[in-house]
Amino acid sequence: MSVLRNLTPSFLRRVNVTQSSARVTTMPISRTPRDLDEARKKRKINKRRIRNGNRIKVEKNAFARRTGKIKSFKISILLDRVGWRFASMGIITLFGLLLGHVVTNENFFVDSIELVSTKYVPGDEIYRASGVHGMNVFWINPAAVESKIASIPGVKNAVVEFEWPATLYVEVTEKEPIILWKQAGKSVWVDEYGKTFPARQHLNWLLPITVDDATEPLGIDEQIPIDVLEGARQLKTLRPNIELLHYDIGQGLSYQDGRDWRGYFGTGNNMGTKLLVYETLIENLMSRGIWPKVISVVEPGTPFHRE
């Protein structure tokens, strides 16, 4: 307090002035709420302009890079597509030319077959039945050709093999005839199973059987009773000199004996017993001076004769 009393009034005024001036300069500027809002908006606008400017530059650069990549990608895809299209067109064109050559060149068309020799069925009949004449080899199905050939009467089966460019090898297995069946003026062969098929040629060794009581001929692929075949084959084996057998439904098999009578033997596989009875009966008749016209051993237990 003593110190303050010693200070002069002028010094006090200077100090007060300085303090007051200092207080005046450091006081904040008073603003209204509207001024504050406008200032805040200006700062936001300036910051947005700065950010947008930078973003536009970045986006422009990114867009340019993406545009370049897209263009190069599209160009590569276009080149790939064009290349594959040309390759595909080339393959299709080549295939078309090859196909045209195959379907028009005469070397690929069949006009004959290589047939393994056959005994009974003529080669031209097999060729016609095969159905391959004039066909392109690419349209021929060997399995179908085999089926067609096997359907020929007298053929058991067929094997067809193909050799490039247009050769067909055909091997045929034929049925073997065991009987020549004559009925109503028509002759057919009979195989071991009793099935009839065409008689295509004359075979001296084949035993003929003539049907006496038939009015209509027998067709192809008809069935002859097995017991008739067995009886005929046994008779031929036991009597090789038999050249012709007759057949009728009631009496079965018979033949004209060289001693001028007809012997009836029926059917079945007991011809050995029947022949023994037959010869015994003949001896008995001859011993009594009887010359029969008919001798029947169809039933060997009760043979009979007619004069």
- Give the chain's domain count: 2
- Residues 191, 125 share a domain: no
Classify residue 61: in a domain, yes or no: no
Classify residue 223: in a domain, yes or no: yes
Classify residue 15: in a domain, yes or no: no
- Residues 183, 170 share a domain: no
SS (H, E, C) 249-289: CCCEEEEEECCCEEEEEECCCCHHHHHHHHHHHHHHHHHCC
> Which CATH number do you get for residue 293?
3.40.50
* pLDDT for res 162: 83
- Residues 288, 210 share a domain: yes
Cis peptide bond upstream of 208, omega within 30: no
* pLDDT for res 27: 47
Task: Record the tokens describing residue 221, joined without a space.
Answer: 């692929």
- Residues 205, 265 share a domain: yes
Classify residue 228: in a domain, yes or no: yes
Show which of 151, 174, 197 is a domain's final residue.
174
At CB < 8 A and 24+ separation, what contacts does 262-266 make? Answer: 262/293, 262/294, 262/295, 263/295, 263/296, 263/297, 264/294, 264/295, 264/296, 264/297, 264/298, 265/231, 265/235, 265/297, 265/298, 266/231, 266/297, 266/298, 266/299
- Residues 184, 162 share a domain: no
- Residues 235, 169 share a domain: no
Contact 305, 294 (CB under 8 A): yes
Classify residue 38: in a domain, yes or no: no
> Which CATH number do you get for residue 167?
3.10.20.310
Classify residue 296: in a domain, yes or no: yes
pTM given for the model: 0.65
- Residues 208, 227 share a domain: yes
- Residues 156, 136 share a domain: yes
- Residues 116, 166 share a domain: yes
- Residues 206, 163 share a domain: no
- Residues 243, 146 share a domain: no
* pLDDT for res 37: 63
- Each residue's pLDDT expressed in tens, for the chain with a length of 307 residues: 444 444 455 544 554 444 444 444 444 455 566 666 666 666 666 555 555 555 555 455 555 555 555 556 566 665 566 565 665 666 676 656 555 545 555 667 888 888 988 999 999 999 999 999 888 888 889 999 999 999 999 999 999 998 877 788 999 999 999 999 999 999 999 999 999 999 999 999 999 999 988 889 999 999 999 999 999 999 999 999 999 999 998 899 999 998 999 999 999 999 999 999 999 999 999 999 999 999 999 999 999 999 8
Structural domain range at position 144: 107-174
Show which of 145, 174, 203 is a domain's final residue.
174
* pLDDT for res 52: 55
Classify residue 286: in a domain, yes or no: yes
Show which of 174, 198, 230 is a domain's final residue.
174
- Residues 229, 136 share a domain: no
* pLDDT for res 71: 56
Classify residue 287: in a domain, yes or no: yes
* pLDDT for res 11: 47
